[in-house]
A and B are shown apart, each in its own frame.
Chain A
């Protein structure tokens, strides 16, 4: 399993009128890898990610995700991936239990499977006391862990995380990354975008997008060597030449 490419992207391009949001990007992601997808705001990461998760059709190029083509088979891609957005989008007016049941349901899990998964989550995250609380009443850190777990309910091959740690405290971020490691150890590929350069250091490999193009792609260690930088933050600054906004 490990070593096999689960995401293969070649010259993937997306244009909106005259504007090229994503300009012929090429990369591969291996199974079980934690792949960091970096870039300043407006560099095109979100657009690229939307093409990979099957909700935006590329203008040209090719891409396979979980073995399926983004042009011809986006529906099968959707079945095999999990997605968590920066908004930790769960339903605030539903309880933890109802949220789990609902999202399990739309991925077609059987009732018994949902129940099994739920007990797993209760044990793992210590949800016992809050399982019948409305999600809206939970602290942000909880919501974030919960929505990550919900994105993994249907055991996807790849999970896409769009700035998953925006706005949470360092301790929770640390805990969250422990969850990411665990997920990757279980064989799920993690594709993560982030603004935090310290998080970039945690990734197996990192790509940095500037103005729609991938300008650098390697392990954090090699990137630092290549750019003669102390940290990923310096690497990023040298590439993007503009300060990062958080």
Chain B
């Protein structure tokens, strides 16, 4: 009874600290929104109204139809029609046109008679990402068209290519970024902010006062950590809502499971934050360790930006020790693929084990420090 009241008083005090410090307020609430907007709008692989040119050697009904389909998609706008190959270089050199589609001669006839016609897609690869995306988009438009015409032709020998872009059919890059950004932000808020707020008490000397009081050390730590659990959960909710309503990203899996897994990762990060605070005497040190020791490896090695499969083997091995890696797999699974616990129990278990490890380690370090 008395304990509960003490605890509530402690939490209240913690919220005073947070709400009276503009810097923490910004990191807590400005940062998540800014980051998700940044990744969503600015740093994107998506294309919109890319200028392309067309060289149509056959000018028949089929090519007209395909050109029409491409022109009516919001990804491309046809800037010019060219007459022969010699113009290609000049067009690219002007820099406006990012891709040229070339239909071979007798396109329609080849397609119906030999069920094989070619379109050449030439992209300006000075920006390889965009070039890659353009060719993917064009391919997907062509495939759709191919499926349409194959519906009418009931020939059993017709071969229909079955490449399909799953999970992110529109190649929306923001969908790929959301799990990563969410991971980084939860990590930042939970680990960095808690480690800073605990070391602040040490620096100010109030930690000593708290330890001399009847509060037990673990009560002090829990009191420091609980407000950040709340704030991190709010952050996770804000990020998911932004993704759903601003970026129209569907969450395929269970929101409940998403919530549980997020809380698990928040606790993992908090335990890391406590561990950092036991190792550092000042807020600056805590911040440096959080940024260099946590954020950097998390951003670089978690698979958020660089695919883990294309890393050299030693880095791949190291990436296994990064909690964020497992959480991103879990998030992508739930958000994009809609899988249940059955498919991500292994990753979940790894996170649970890591969390327990960090907690045990910080309790040990705490005891040593108190001596």
Contact = CB atoms under 8 A, between A and B. Distances in A.
B16 A98 contact: yes
B208 A106 contact: no
A55 B211 CA distance: 7
B366 to A, nearest CB: 12
B205 to A, nearest CB: 3
Nearest to A55: B211
Contacts of A20: none
Interface range for A? 20 to 34
A238 interface: no
B79 interface: no
A39 interface: no
A87 interface: yes
A78 B209 CA distance: 11
Given A75-B214, A91-B206, A105-B9, A56 B16 contact: no
Interface string A100-126: 011101111000000000000000000
B201 to A, nearest CB: 9
Interface string B7-20: 00110110011001
Please report whether the interface of chain A is mostly helix, strand, loop or mixed according to DSSP.
loop
B371 A78 contact: no
A25 interface: no
Interface in B59-114: none
By DSSP majority rule, is chain B's interface helix, strand, loop, or mixed?
A: helix
Interface string A77-91: 011010101111111
Nearest to B3: A108
Contacts of B205: 85-89
Given A83-B209, A85-B205, A106 B17 contact: no
A81 B212 CA distance: 9
Nearest to A16: B371
A107 to B, nearest CB: 6
Interface string A54-86: 111100000000000000000100110101011
B211 A101 contact: no
Given A57-B371, A85-B205, A102-B10, 8 more contacts: A78-B214, A88-B205, A91-B16, A93-B17, A94-B16, A102-B9, A102-B13, A107-B213
Interface of B: 2, 5-6, 9-10, 12-13, 16-17, 20-21, 204-206, 208-216, 370-371
Interface of A: 53-57, 75, 78-79, 81, 83, 85-94, 98, 101-103, 105-108
7 contacts: A55-B212, A85-B209, A86-B205, A92-B204, A102-B12, A106-B210, A108-B5
